[in-house]
Structure 1
Amino acid sequence: MKLKLTFLALFLMVAAQLQAQYGDGRYTFVFLNTNPDRAELPKEQVDSLQSGHIANINRLVKEQKMIAAGPFYNGGGIFLFDTNKTDTEAVLNSDPAISAGRFKLEVYPFDLMEGKLCTLWHKDEADVEMTTYYFVRFEPNKGDENIDAVKTNRFTENLLKELKQKYKDNAELVGAINLNANEGQVVIYKSDQEGGVEELFATHELVKKGLMSYYHRQIYFPKGVFCEN
């Protein structure tokens, strides 16, 4: 009995240490959605904000807080942070474009469904190769009361199996992310072909049932973040 109590106490202590270390998530994903209500500014001011935005990204990477960032081709972008949600939110307004209201942010703790994360902190900025990937976001329909009872990542996992098996000649899965608290999933893949894969994502079972929606975009992102070659 004493041994069981000792083990329980040790387990609780380790759990408390992990909670203190990781808080609300080990990693944090940030969507930078273009703010449709952003102020109209002179080009010189917009260019200055963009320069500050890039400089702040480079600073956070050098400080080993941010893993990577990348823009979508049609506006907006994403950040991946090696900090929990609270610590991530504490530094976001250091970005002049964010503090100026150029973006509307969504901030989520996440875990990996597929792939691994590799930091590029050992590389000089000039040696980081940027490349184009395809980016798919599955988002739960919060207006449907049935969504709370569904673990959406399980259905996305089924779709990923199909992507790797039936579409292996058209696409290569780079990474897949589960946004915690049932906030949806992100799939990143590369393909040399334009089209031929996108129709797969509409077959997601929860998309067909109206419980989730998705969008498909191209993103300019650092190569190697998901330990890919």
Structure 2
Amino acid sequence: MSFSLSAQYGNGRYTFVFLNTNPNKAELSQAEVDSLQAGHMNNINRLVKEKKMIAAGPFFTGGGVFLFDTDLEATQAILSSDPAIAANRYILEVFSTDPIPHNAVKKTLCTLWDKNEADVEMAMNYYFVRYKPNKADENVAAVKTNRFTENLIGSVSKKSGRNTIIGALNLNDNEGQLIFYQSDIEGGIESDFAAHELVKKGLMTYEHDQIYFPKGVFCEK
């Protein structure tokens, strides 16, 4: 399995995992791909029932994310149980993370463990933004504060409504921040997030994508 070594440190409450599609994955038959995908989904459902995984969701452009209520060491042991990961279908990035406290978003995560699988609604209008520090810049230490991201959260909430941003997470050890938001505008409101002050200064880059994610994880209605 492939892990991002630079991201396996920190002491946050939660663990966030990026499953990046491996461009060098082995060529498999459709039957083999279907079997791995079935095992992948069964494993996700098992981890949710065991109250280890909070949520999982794919990006519309490929790959996806996991959110665990386990520390880094426990998470890395858990990841090996996924047949698609074991088959090297993904390149993983593993981060320690905590919610970003802000009056425009909830300060905690909500688990859906007590819900029946059939009652969990997967949202189609959710978008995801990832801010990454530009570690080649000598001023990158300024990224350690999420004050600039908090300012952006407030700005977007004021412009587009308090219910637009549903959750925000800080990746520990100066690894950036994540924002989940909802929008009925096709393509979302990417330009608003590109206006991040540190992105404009070149201290951060950002990624923006639509994500299929369980509704309620960020305590949103």
Tell me whether 1:64 sits opposite 2:57 in the alignment. no
Q: How does 1:1-229 map to 2 (within 5 A)?
A: 24-113=11-100, 114-115=105-106, 116-132=108-124, 133-168=126-161, 172-195=164-187, 197-229=189-221
Task: For 1:100 and 1:50, locate their aligned partners in 2 and report how far apart those are by CA, in whole Å.
Answer: 11
Calculate the TM-score normalised by the size of structure 2: 0.89
What amino acid maps onto 1:99 in structure 2?
A
SS in 1 for 2:45: helix
Alpha carbons 2:164, 2:181 under 8 Å: kept: yes
Calculate the TM-score normalised by the size of structure 1: 0.86
Q: Which has the larger radius of gyration?
A: 1
Which consecutive unaligned segments of at least 5 residues does structure 1 have?
1-22
Task: For 1:138 and 1:101, locate their aligned partners in 2 and report how far apart those are by CA, in whole Å.
Answer: 26
Q: As a proportion of its length, which structure holds more helix? A: 1
Alpha carbons 1:120, 1:224 under 8 Å: kept: yes
Which consecutive unaligned segments of at least 5 residues does structure 2 have?
1-9
Larger RCO (CA within 8 A; separation ≥ 6): 2
Count of aligned positions? 206
**Deviations 1:81-124, CA, capped at 9 Å, x for gaps:** 00011111111010000011100101111111142311111011
**Deviations 1:115-167, CA, capped at 9 Å, x for gaps:** 23111110111111111201111111122232134324111111111011122
Superposed displacement of residue 195, structure 1:
4.7
Q: Percent identity?
A: 66
Which segments of structure 1 move beyond 4 Å, counting only runs of 4 or more? none
